[in-house]
Amino acid sequence: MMQRPVQSTCDLLIIGAGPAGMSAAIASRRAGLDVIVADEGEAPGGQIYRNAAQSPLSDAHVLGDEYLGGRTLIAAFDASGAKHLARCVVWQIALENGRAVAMLTRRAQGAQGAQPGGTLDISARAVLVATGAQERPWPVRGWTLPGVMGIGAAQTLLKSSGLAPSQDAVLAGCGPLLWLFAWQLLNAGRRVRAIIDTTPRDAWRAALPHALPALAGADYLLKGLRMMRAVKRAGIPIYRGASAFSIEGEERAERVHFADEHGTRRSIDTSLVLLHQGVIPSTQLPRSLGCEHEWDASSACWRPRTDAHGRSTVEHVWIAGDGAGIGGAKAAAHAGTLAALDISRELGALDAASRDARGRRSRLAMKRHLAVRPLLDALYTPPAALRRPADDVIVCRCEEVTAGEIRAIAAIGCQGPNQMKAFSRCGMGPCQGRWCGATVGELIAQMQERAVGDVGYYRIRAPIKPVTVDEIADSIALGDDFTRGEFPS
């Protein structure tokens, strides 16, 4: 007979051990709460500080001072007394009787399962979702070919395994990470074939009104300029204002085609294409809990509705960090602190005056770190032409549904992504819409001349992440009087 999974209770369950999750754990432990932090990584840090405490690189300084600065936060988290559950996939959260009950699966470690896995059942008085961001999908011709991946994924390989891309790699897209990764590779003694920057030539016009307020975060601007200058000095070919980008190849990526800022068609042979069009909040988990979301036109993405403390529209649920809106690692850390203090007040560990006093420094710091965001959004949010692919381009990678199929179904009256799912299986694959949801909504809105916020998004159901039937079965509670019947029973 199957047994009920391992059970645990706590005051606060934090999902994600990035800057927001770690800072929240530190602040809530100081307030006296019993805290559990569940994260899919081997060690705390999230994507931005991945393996910062024990980097596989011989010299982690190549990744920059900000990356190494994460070691201080990781050390404080390790010393906080919060219980850290590594390699844990949270695949369901239910709100029952004033508590949140989460189902987690810990993946086994080692070839022979040296550290066995298992299913955990955690009951918490409050939940903080700190799952961070994901790369914005950029459907272009050839993006499903072997040899094509996101820059974020390539950076993960560098941080987690010390693996750098080949010298003929082409970096394409826009946004700060495009230049940061190129700069990190140069520091590591590696080069790339070319950088194809798709930032529109006139993007500065939309960004100009935000320039003066952005000076409050001048250190971010100076850092970006230094990275871009270093890449240019290295002699790497840079093509700005690129458009009509596509990838070609028979069995794998072989070359890229694009038009430069003067409209001249160009082609570059390459076996590795790294794409990036910025990052967007990861919303799957809060959506599964019923948290309300809104379309943010300034950054062309969905974000959960939260108050100044990260409180969502669902009782007992808070959201902090880039998962609540892109702000960067330092802003995420302060957002985690503010959310933890509000949770501590809600659970009776602090009064409102203590919450506000302890959070004053984080509120001021967060305002400064976010000052540059409107300028970056105006400069680097990809235009509609880059977010709405041509008809022959695959949008749903899992089910191989093209933009043309989605437009055709929208043209006959399909009202939203959920109906589109029924008509085409779009969004029904293992990624559960992570890589097609935003694009599907935009294509429907385009065809029906509606606002994307009105079109909506997929309804997300458990399991939030792919799990096996065996893992799901292990989570089912069976009483002592349970007897198996013949199939069907």
- Residue 410 tokens read as 């929208």
Backbone angles phi, psi at 369, to 5 degrees: -70, -25
- Measured from the Cβ of residue 202, the count of other Cβ atoms closer than 10 Å reads 9
* pLDDT, tens only, 147-186: 999 999 999 999 999 999 988 999 999 999 999 999 999 9
Q: What is the pLDDT along the chain (489 residues), one digit of tens a residue?
A: 344 456 689 999 999 999 999 999 999 999 999 999 999 999 999 999 999 999 999 999 999 999 999 999 999 999 999 999 999 999 999 998 889 999 999 877 765 555 667 888 999 999 999 999 999 999 999 999 999 999 999 999 999 999 999 889 999 999 999 999 999 999 999 999 999 999 999 999 999 999 999 999 999 999 999 999 999 999 999 999 999 999 999 999 999 999 999 999 999 999 999 999 999 999 999 999 999 999 999 999 999 999 999 999 999 999 999 999 999 999 999 999 999 999 999 999 999 999 999 999 999 999 999 999 999 999 999 999 999 999 999 999 999 999 999 999 999 999 999 999 999 999 999 999 999 999 999 999 999 999 999 999 999 999 998 888 888 777 766 666 655 556 554
Let me know how long the chain is.
489
In a domain, 359, yes or no: no
Among 296, 323, 350, where does a domain finish?
Answer: 350
Do 198 and 102 share a structural domain?
Answer: no
Contact 407, 443 (CB under 8 A): yes
For residues 378 and 366, what is the distance between their CA atoms, to the nearest angstrom?
A: 20
177 with 288, same domain?
no
Within a domain: residue 451?
yes
- Helix (H) / strand (E) element for 274: namely strand 273-277
CATH of the domain at 265: 3.50.50.60
Asked if the structure places residue 182 within a domain, the reply is yes
Name the residue type at position 206.
A
- Does one domain contain both 91 and 11? yes
What's the CATH number where 402 sits?
1.10.10.1100
471 DSSP assignment: H
DSSP state for residue 169 in the 8-state scheme: -
Domain residues for the domain of 406 are 388-455
CA-closest candidate to residue 440, choices 386, 402, 399: 402
Distance of alpha carbon 20 from alpha carbon 310, whole angstroms? 11
Number of independent structural domains in the chain: 3
**Are 229 and 149 in a shared domain?**
yes
Verify that 230 and 164 share a domain, yes or no: yes
The whole-angstrom separation of Cα 474 and Cα 119 is 6
User: How far apart are the two ends of the chain, measured CA to CA in Å?
Assistant: 16
Query: 182 and 63 in contact (C-beta within 8 Å)?
Result: no
